[in-house]
Amino acid sequence: MRIGIEGLKMPEATRRGPLASLDHARSYGMAGISFSSVLDMSPTLDSGALKAIRSRADELGMYLEAGLGKLNPYCSAEAPELRAIGDGDIVAGLRRMMEASAEIGCQELWASLSNFKPQYSGRLANDRFRTDVTWPEQLLASERLLRILAPIARDLGIHINLETHDEVTSFELVRLVENVGPDAIGIVLDTANVLQRGEHPVWAARRVAPYIRQTHIKDAYVAHAPGGLDFQTRPCGNGIVDFRAILPIIAAVNPAMNLTIEPAQSTADKRRAAVPRQRIEIDDPIWLAAHPDLTREERAAYEALIGDYEKRIAAGEVADWETYERTNYGWPTYVNQSYGYAEALVFIRACVEHLTAIAAELALPLDAPPLARAA
């Protein structure tokens, strides 16, 4: 296993661009980059530009992953680049993206089913709870699109891998993979997102294990608050996710799996503004009705996990939501726009150190380069 970084959340990715970001990421110890869309590597799918990125990654001994973006037809209007790259034909655009990725050896392609809307709070931040179209209708439309894309994937020898994203459950992803075919469709395990759907991260990892082909490694604060639970991205080891249990599951699936850290995005790339708290409305009747697969046993294990984490908070081992947001361990808050480049590197280093320590403790096959000081 190797530790790399997610392309959109990589500090200074926008300023440096994809090619220079390879050297930059390597300078602070990353073994690869996973771009959520091949269009982030080249908006025009320029063959020369893509091959140059591939060549530089190979020279540096880094892994390179690409993606397709959002594959829910009800969200297509929010991703006009998919239609544009196909000259008005979204399927043609996705085919071109898949072909361009395969040409540079990117055979595992990230995708997700929907978008997160940070300007809204609670369940309405997720397309799962849209009021103009039901979530089952969105899943059905997404499955139909995947069935169109699956033969293309098979011909190219690639996989379209759906992330355990904010809006979808691991149960639903397993059904999608099995319905369309695991020879063309896989899963990207995001270790923290499953918490937003009321799922225990270890239980979810075991559930999707047969189909994991990519990862997003991140941790989160989850604790009781008015209206449900607060969710807040944290460095690995500072949140609720048990990586001692999850890393062996990933290693058993594929000891060469890439571990792609998804850090909080820094203000070096995207100016932050105050947003509502990311609330999990786990006791709301509408929320509960939308999660029919959750069992009492898993809900109990989930609550026990939160209870143990809240003991760590009470003991002062980890900061509560307000303290972390206010000080971020000595940094001013995101709202004050000062979670910048240096702070993002501290976040990333904390993740690498936590994962590396666990891998050493459990004798897992982790190829971790030394953490260098970034240029």
Q: Cα(238)–Cα(221) distance, rounded to whole angstroms?
A: 8
Q: Chain centroid to CA 159: how far?
A: 17
DSSP-derived pairing of the beta strands 228-234 and 219-225 = antiparallel
Residue 109's domain comprises: 2-362
pLDDT in tens, 272-304: 555 567 899 999 999 999 999 999 999 999 999
Count of domains forming the chain: 1
Q: Cα(355)–Cα(357) distance, rounded to whole angstroms?
A: 5
Three-state DSSP class for residue 230: strand
For residue 188, the cross-strand partners are 163, 214
Q: Cα(324)–Cα(319) distance, rounded to whole angstroms?
A: 6
Mean pLDDT of the chain: 91
What is the structure's pLDDT at 331?
A: 43
pLDDT in tens, 199-209: 999 999 999 99
Whether 368 is covered by a domain: the verdict is: no
Whether 375 is covered by a domain: the verdict is: no
Whether 200 is covered by a domain: the verdict is: yes
DSSP-derived pairing of the beta strands 228-234 and 278-280 = antiparallel
What single DSSP character describes residue 217? B
Give the contacts of 238 (CB within 8 A, at least 6 positions apart).
219, 221, 318, 350
Q: In degrees rounded to 5, what are phi and psi of residue 6?
A: -75, 135
Question: Residue 247: which of 264, 233, 261 has the closest Cα?
Answer: 261
The string of DSSP codes covering 91-155 is HHHHHHHHHHHHHTT--EEEEES--B-TTS-GGGGBGGG-SSS-HHHHHHHHHHHHHHHHHHHHH
Q: Cα(228)–Cα(232) distance, rounded to whole angstroms?
A: 13
The model carries a pTM of 0.94
On the question of pLDDT at 332 being above 50, the answer is: no
Residue 326, both tokens: 């206010």
What is the percentage of the chain residues whose pLDDT exceeds 70? 92
Whether 212 is covered by a domain: the verdict is: yes
Whether 192 is covered by a domain: the verdict is: yes
Q: Cα(375)–Cα(364) distance, rounded to whole angstroms?
A: 30
Whether 374 is covered by a domain: the verdict is: no
Question: Helices 90-103 & 135-156, crossing angle to 10 degrees?
Answer: 40
Whether 116 is covered by a domain: the verdict is: yes
- As a whole number, mean pLDDT of residues 330-338 equals 44
Tell me, what CATH number does 50's domain have?
A: 3.20.20.150
- As a whole number, mean pLDDT of residues 194-202 equals 97
- As a whole number, mean pLDDT of residues 260-281 equals 74
- Strand locations in the chain, DSSP E? 2-6, 32-34, 63-70, 108-112, 159-163, 185-190, 212-216, 219-225, 228-234, 258-261, 278-280
What is the structure's pLDDT at 315?
A: 95
pLDDT in tens, 340-375: 788 888 899 999 999 999 999 999 999 866 654 444
Whether 187 is covered by a domain: the verdict is: yes
Return the number of other C-beta atoms located less than 10 Å from residue 116's C-beta. Answer: 15
